[in-house]
């Protein structure tokens, strides 16, 4: 199948994969019937429901068509309310391949177009044959960059470009066991075991009465984290950083440098003996659209779930090349207001980037490229006024990372406010021509 010859349909198994958990539930409902071979009267209703679902799935597959024109991707769908969506390829920010567990079993993959603009809506082709998806992706990217058909299809699975960092599984397991969520699970499990030894009846009561579901929930959170961060690999490609990883659900995503609003490095207390860090980036736009997976909905994307300092530096060199060195500490009297985190507070600025550090237990360092700064706020509370201190907050479009120059001397805060406003203005200027494209 070549990629640009008129209208095409999705893979026939698409509705099954889209059904996800629903499909599995249907199979579970049908299994006893299949094994017994006969149909009893009580099973007619569930069977009827399943039949209707199958027909609906088939119809939704049948009416959905897509094609690639010269400069846009068109997707048509719907029976009663026919919907035709056009995705101009010039506005494509990235083309991601997503493969949930069920899709991998059935040999299909989803292609997701990330569009620029404030709405950040995403075009989904769910699902295409797995063997075909890399070819379509390469074709779309080639058209998006204005060079039709010159990009050769790349081999599937292997992330293109030079691999920068990856996560050894042993270290990932260790890091999760030593994380806050992991500790929670371990603590609860230990408590249950101890109770079971000392007072078996009480443990049984706790486990049977709701406690079990709660425990399962916590384990599920831990599992999800492991599943997403398993063998997470960052590679450098011509159009940005390419992320690929996952145990059951494979995802691959490209992060253009211009999409990064802020970078956050976290160092939890228990990781410090090992010299481990976690590196996350905050991305622009709300990529919230119908039916998108959980993993794609978060704005904070983990680049490095756990890694050493040199790996962090390697990635930081790509994202924020011009980093300010040696954050300056606040005045000593700030100790009275923030006794715990005083030691970690600091900030620094270079021509293009501001860095802030905070946190006693979870040391957090936050870099914000000044061209991404949205606004500045200088805030002074009553205690700070008494101590002649003030904080300056750097607001970005991202939500999770928060850069703040906490508890600085009043004069320094004012100077910082003026200087950051100036630097940000200078940093925005060259950005203007670039952002016209995206």
Partner 1 sequence: MNVLDFHDGDGVRWRSPSRRLLLLRRAEVAAMTVVAALIAGVGVGLRVGALAGAGAAVLAVVLGLLGEQVVHRRFSAWGYVEREDDLLVRRGVLFSRLSVVPYGRMQFIDVTAGPLERSLGLATVKMHTAAAASDARIPGLERAEAARLRDQLAELGEAQAAGI
Closer residue to partner 1 (CB): 51 or 411: 411
Binding of partner 1 at residue 396 (CB under 8 A)?
yes
Question: Taking contact as CB under 8 A, which single stretch among the options 10-18, 234-242, 334-342, 421-429 is the one that binds partner 1?
Answer: 421-429
Q: How far is the CB of 423 from partner 1 (least distance, A)?
A: 11
When binding is defined by CB under 8 A, the residue of 86, 238, 297, 425 that contacts partner 1 is 425
Locate all alpha helices (DSSP H) within 126-278, ordered by sequence. 130-144, 169-177, 180-198, 200-206, 212-229
For residues 391 and 341, give the distance between their C-alpha atoms in angstroms, rounded to a whole number: 14
Write phi, then psi, for 375 (nearest 5 degrees). -160, 165
- Check if the beta carbon of residue 350 is closer than 8 Å to that of residue 322: yes
- Shortest approach of partner 1 to residue 145 CB, angstroms? 19
Nearer to partner 1, 251 or 396 (CB): 396
CB of 141 to partner 1, least distance (A): 21
Question: Which residue, 341 or 402, has its beta carbon nearer to partner 1?
Answer: 402
CB-CB contact of 66 with 75 (8 Å): yes
CA–CA gap between residue 438 and residue 427 (Å, rounded): 17
The DSSP annotation for 158-177 comes to SPPSEEEE---HHHHHHHHH
How many residues interact with partner 1 (rule CB under 8 A)? 40
395 part of the interface to partner 1, by CB under 8 A: yes
3-state secondary structure 211-233: HHHHHHHHHHHHHHHHHHHCCCE
Q: Please report, for residues 20, 198, 395, the alpha-carbon distance to residue 12 in angstroms, rounded to integers and kept in the order given.
A: 15, 57, 46
Minimum separation from the CB atom of position 135 to partner 1 (A): 31
Stretch that binds partner 1, among 29-37, 66-74, 268-276, 395-403 (CB under 8 A): 395-403
- Binding range to partner 1, per CB under 8 A, among 26-34, 128-136, 348-356, 392-400: 392-400
x/- contact string, 250-279, with partner 1 (CB under 8 A)? Answer: --------x--x------------------
Tokens coding 191: 């408590």
Q: Does 285 bind partner 1 (CB under 8 A)?
A: yes
* 410 lines the binding site for partner 1 (CB under 8 A): no
Among 103, 100, 127, smallest CA distance to 10 is for 127
Least distance from partner 1 to the Cβ atom of residue 91, Å? 12
Question: Residues 104, 376, 388, 409: which binds partner 1 (CB under 8 A)?
Answer: 376
Spatial distance between the Cα atoms of 148 and 131, rounded to a whole number of angstroms:
21
Q: Kindly tell me which of 133 and 423 has the beta carbon lying closer to partner 1.
A: 423
Read off the tokens for 241: 């950083």
Cα–Cα distances (Å) from 5 to 2, 83, 136, in that order, read 7, 21, 12
What part of residues 50-109 is at the interface with partner 1 (CB under 8 A)?
Answer: none
Which residues lie below 8 Å from residue 123, measured CB to CB, with a gap of 6+?
73, 75, 85, 87, 112, 113, 115
Report the chain's C-alpha Rg in angstroms: 26
374 binds partner 1, rule: CB under 8 A: yes
119 binds partner 1 (CB under 8 A): no
Q: Does position 343 bind partner 1 by CB under 8 A?
A: no
Q: If binding is defined by CB under 8 A, does position 377 make contact with partner 1?
A: yes
| φ/ψ (deg, to 5) at 233 | -120, 135
**Is 379 an interacting residue with respect to partner 1 (CB under 8 A)?**
yes
Which residue among 380, 400, 407, 409 contacts partner 1 (CB under 8 A)? Answer: 380
**Stretch near partner 1 under the rule CB under 8 A, chosen from 55-63, 73-81, 98-106, 410-418:** 410-418
The footprint of partner 1 (CB under 8 A) covers 118, 258, 261, 284-285, 371-382, 385, 393, 395-397, 399, 402, 411, 414-415, 417-418, 421-422, 424-425, 428, 431-432, 434-436, 438
């Amino acid at each position: 199948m070549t990629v640009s010859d008129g209208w095409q349909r999705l893979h026939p198994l698409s509705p099954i994969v889209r059904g996800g958990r629903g499909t599995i539930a249907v199979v579970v409902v049908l299994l006893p019937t299949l094994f017994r071979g006969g149909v009893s009267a009580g099973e007619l209703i569930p069977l009827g429901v399943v039949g209707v679902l199958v027909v609906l799935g088939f119809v939704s597959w049948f009416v959905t068509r897509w094609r690639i024109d010269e400069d846009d991707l068109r997707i048509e769908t719907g029976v009663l309310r026919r919907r035709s969506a056009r995705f101009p390829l010039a506005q494509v920010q990235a083309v991601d391949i997503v493969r949930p567990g069920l899709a991998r079993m059935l040999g299909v993959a989803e292609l997701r177009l990330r569009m620029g603009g404030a709405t950040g809506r995403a075009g989904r082709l769910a699902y295409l044959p797995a063997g075909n998806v890399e070819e379509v992706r390469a074709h779309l990217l080639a058209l998006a960059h204005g060079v039709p058909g010159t990009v050769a299809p790349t081999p599937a699975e292997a992330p293109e470009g030079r691999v920068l960092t990856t996560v050894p599984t042993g270290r990932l397991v260790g890091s999760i066991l030593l994380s806050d969520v992991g500790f929670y699970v371990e603590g609860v499990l230990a408590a249950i075991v101890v109770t079971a030894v000392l007072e078996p009846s009480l443990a049984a009561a706790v486990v049977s009465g709701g406690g079990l579901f709660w425990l399962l929930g916590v384990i599920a959170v831990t599992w999800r984290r492991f599943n997403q961060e398993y063998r997470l690999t960052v590679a450098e490609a011509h159009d940005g950083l390419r992320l690929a990883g996952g145990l059951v659900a494979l995802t691959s995503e490209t992060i253009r440098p211009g999409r990064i609003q802020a970078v956050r490095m976290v160092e939890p207390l228990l990781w410090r003996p090992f010299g481990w860090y976690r590196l996350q980036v905050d991305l622009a736009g709300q990529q919230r659209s119908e039916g998108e997976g959980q993993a794609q909905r978060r704005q904070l994307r983990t680049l490095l779930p756990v890694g050493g300092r040199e790996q962090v530096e390697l990635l930081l060199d790509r994202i924020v090349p011009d980093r300010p060195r040696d954050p300056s500490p606040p005045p000593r009297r700030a100790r009275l207001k923030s006794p715990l985190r005083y030691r970690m507070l600091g900030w620094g600025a270079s021509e293009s980037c501001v860095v802030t550090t905070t946190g006693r237990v979870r040391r957090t360092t936050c870099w914000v490229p000044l061209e991404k700064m949205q606004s500045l706020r200088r805030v002074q509370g009553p205690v700070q006024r008494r101590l002649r201190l003030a904080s300056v907050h750097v607001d970005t479009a991202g939500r999770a990372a928060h850069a703040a120059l906490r508890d600085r001397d009043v004069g320094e805060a004012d100077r910082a406010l003026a200087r950051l406003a100036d630097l940000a203005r200078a940093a925005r200027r060259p950005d203007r021509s670039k952002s016209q494209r995206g």
